[in-house]
Amino acid sequence: MPTSSKSKTGPVLLSGGNPQIPKGDGDDPVQAYIAAMPGWKRDVGIGLDALIARTVPNVRKAVRWNSPFYGVVDQGWFLSVHCFTRYVKVTFLRGAALDPLPPVSSKDPNTRYFHIHEHDTLDEAQLERWFAQASAMPGDRLF
C-alpha cells in the first residue's frame, strides 16, 4: 500500500514523493504539480517545464495519473514527468524513435526514459533536441 503524507497547505505526496494533483487540462494543473514537487525536484520541474515551453511553442499541457503531460494539439502526447524517491523520470512516449536514444528502456518498446537525480548536471541542449524530435512526431493519444 502506498505511503502518503500531506503538508498543512499542500497536496498529498504519494509514494516516492509524487504529488497527487487532480486531473486537469492546461498550464494551471501542471504548475500546481510542479509547486508540490518536494525539495530539489521542484527546481527540476521548473527547469523542465520552461525548457519544454521554450522548445515547443504552443505546447499543450495536462495532468493525468498524477503526472504532467506535454503534447501538441491534434498530434497527441509526447512526454510526461513523474517524481520518484531518488529521481525525476522524464518519459518519452515515442522515445525509441529519438536519436540518440534516451538511456533507460521500458517494457513498452516505444517508450524510453531519462532519469534526473539530485546532483545531475543536465545537458539542456540534448534535452531540447529530444523535446523537438518528440514533439514533431505523432504522439500518444492516451486520453
C-alpha cell at 77: 502526447
| Domains in the chain with CATH codes | 17-136 (3.90.1150.200)
For residues 125 and 123, what is the distance between their CA atoms, to the nearest angstrom?
A: 5
pLDDT score recorded for residue 87: 97
For residues 22 and 66, what is the distance between their CA atoms, to the nearest angstrom?
A: 7
Alpha helices in the chain (DSSP H): 27-36, 40-55, 124-136
pLDDT score recorded for residue 142: 62
pLDDT score recorded for residue 140: 74
C-alpha cell at 111: 517508450
pLDDT score recorded for residue 6: 45
Tens digits of pLDDT across the chain (143 residues) = 344 444 456 789 898 889 999 999 999 999 999 999 999 999 999 999 999 999 999 999 999 999 999 999 989 999 999 999 999 999 999 999 999 999 999 999 999 999 999 999 999 999 999 999 999 998 876 65
